Structure 1
Amino acid sequence: MLGVFWAEDGGLPANDRGLAYGDGLFETILMVGTRGTLVGYHLDRLVRDAGRLGIPVTRAEAQDVFARATSHYGHSRADTRWVLKLILTRGAGGRGYRPDPDMTPNLLVSASAAPPGVPSEGVAVTYSRIPLTVNPLFAGIKSLNRLEQVMAARELSGDVFEVLQSNGDGELVEGTRTNLLLHTTEGWITPPRDSLAVAGVMRDWVLERLEARGEVVSERPLLSEHITGPACRAFYLLNSVLGVVAVRNLAGQDLPVDSGLATICDPLETLE
């Protein structure tokens, strides 16, 4: 059983645990009319990570809500791009941290305009002063607990597109809304999955595409000197709504730009 709420009808109850404690997770899906990109990846992650949090939702329920949402919002948007957001919470009711084991999960559904496209010549990024801590128990889950990303995003200004967050060991982990991928003379490097606050579906899909092409992909700690060193061929940000974003400048240092990955991995190929 799943309670479904539509944002324009008033949203979640005031006593929802997602509002009170960040007790839930979310997905944002790039849509074109009534079709979405990487839909299977998004819904699989929603169900899988909800299970990790002990929130009962089935793949069939998630698929049904997606179908209802595309009908509800998509037909009036024709072939335009928009973003579907699904917020799943443990449910409403009770006081205190301990949840009722018989609580009914709630799913809030909303639609918004898609952000503008990113320039093919690349974007400028810099380092965040806000460190990123990842509890191993929740690594990779796109939970509602995103305060570190919110505070880091406040550092964005001018033409800075993204800020990169590091862990306590000084290793680059991810951006406020993006996963990181570096192309070097020896292959591809991306931070290990178990170090990530959010393991993005675009990251998963791109790595699968690269490995299918026979590319050497390594999940290992990423340091700033790897990006700014002579072995760097290109540095990318990955996001399921924005796609593959080439970085042209990191904290004032110009980087080589190669937009080829965006051609190889175009999320619009995954519309379903």
Structure 2
Amino acid sequence: MARIFWAEEDGLPAGDRGAAYGDGLFETILMRGQQGALVARHLERMVRDATRLGIPVTRRQLQDAYAQAVNRYGDASSAAPWVLKLVLTRGAGGRGYRPDPGMEPNLQIQAAPAPPRPYPDGVDVEFSRVPLTVNPLLAGIKSLNRLEQVMAAREIQDGLFEVIQSNARGELVEGSRTNLLLATDAGWFSPPRADLAVVGVMRQWVLERLRARGEQVTESPILPEHVLGDGCRGFYLLNSVLGVVSVGRLAGQDLPVDGGLATICDPLQTLE
């Protein structure tokens, strides 16, 4: 059973492996009142990825913790969006990197106001100088080990909204906090799951929505020339809190902007 810590009351204990080694996971859920967007998917991902890391937690335990958080932070009479963050660590203990057997996980719960929604006419984005390396063993896991993203995010200055990271092959993989989606005349393209540091909940939902509408959706590598070339019909950033964000300018080049996808894939339409 995970031990719950409320962020405004007490921090995680000294020796917590999440703080020491990034040994844990996190989820950020967009909320409005006492409802959350894509909650089931967030909790299912945390259980699935915790299993991959060998951290014992059940869906029932997370569901109970989520219910406590909603009662604690949610205001049913308010329409203002807010963000709920769940941080699950392996717990405290162990000698060096090696954890003790049978450790009790820690679950820290935080609440914060939601960030403002980006301008619908497109955001300014640049290529990052920080490459993204994905260990196949950890591919897709929203772990606490995010140093490459932290270093990339330090480049976000002077009105930039996001930076795009590439892998060793020069393929565009992710933004520092977003997944990628490219629209062309041949359909929609998103980098393969196996190449992603984080397989986003919003990404999966958007791809499913597009396929349900009969759209052609392909998971394949995206190169800079695919986005900056004449075949680009729109380039989008996907994030579970921000939703679908159109890129209006990349590396100083204007891109076509269409707000239709953001309208049909608004995360606040998924409240549960």
TM above 0.5, yes or no, is yes
- Cross-structure match for 1:61: 61
For residues 12-161 of structure 1, the aligned pairs below 5 Å read: 12-75=12-75, 78-161=78-161
Residue identity matched to 2:67: A
Shift of 1:77: 7.6
Q: CA deviation at 1:33?
A: 1.1
Query: Aligned partners of 2:172 and 2:230: how far apart in 1?
Result: 18
SS at match of 2:108: strand
The match for 1:176 is 176
TM-score (norm 2): 0.98
Report how far residue 94 of structure 1 moved. Answer: 2.5
Q: Which amino acid aligns with 1:270?
A: T
**1:218 paired residue number:** 218
Aligned partners of 2:219, 2:33: CA distance in 1, in Å? 35
Q: How far has the Cα of 1:113 moved from its partner?
A: 1.1
Q: Amino acid of the residue matched to residue 257 of structure 2?
A: V
User: Which stretch of structure 1 is more off in the superposition, 75-84 or 204-213?
Assistant: 75-84
TM-superposed deviation, 1:79 = 2.2
One-letter amino acid of the structure 2 residue matched with residue 127 of structure 1? F
Q: Deviations along 1:181-203, whole A, 9 cap, x unmatched?
A: 00000000000001000110000
| 2:236 is the counterpart of 1:230 | no
The CA deviation string for residues 87-119 of structure 1, in whole angstroms up to 9 with x for no partner, is: 000011222111112100110001111101110
Q: For structure 1, which runs of at least 5 residues remain unmatched after alignment?
A: none
Distance (whole Å) between structure 1 residues aligned to residue 172 and residue 98 of structure 2: 34
In 2, the alpha carbon distance for the partners of 1:6 and 1:77 equals 23
SS of 2:31's equivalent in the other structure is: strand
Q: Distance in 1 between matches of 2:11 and 2:77?
A: 22
Aligned to 1:136, what secondary structure does the other structure show? coil
SS of the residue corresponding to residue 234 of structure 2 reads strand
Name the SS for the 2:215 alignment partner: coil
Deviations 1:224-248 (A, max 9, x none): 1000111111100000000100001
Secondary structure, aligned partner of 2:26: strand
Report sequence identity in percent. 69
Residues 51, 120 of structure 1: CA spacing in aligned structure 2 closer, same or farther, 3 A cutoff?
same
- Taking the aligned partners of 2:77 and 2:127, their CA distance within structure 1 comes to 37
Cα drift, residue 11 of structure 1 = 1.6
Report what 2:3 is aligned to: 3
Counterpart CA distance in 2 for 1:228 and 1:178 is: 19
Which residues of structure 2 form unaligned runs of 5+? none
Q: Alignment length, in residue pairs?
A: 272
Q: CA 1:76–1:263 in 2, change beyond 3 Å: closer, same or farther?
A: closer
Measure how far apart 1:80 and its partner are. Answer: 1.4
Shift of 1:25: 0.6
Over 2 Å off, 4+ runs: 75-79
The alignment partner of 2:214 has SS state of coil
Q: Helix, strand or coil: the match of 2:103?
A: coil
How many Å separate the matches in 1 of 2:144 and 2:18?
7
1:50 Cα shift? 0.4
The answer to whether the 8 Å contact 2:35/2:271 transfers is yes
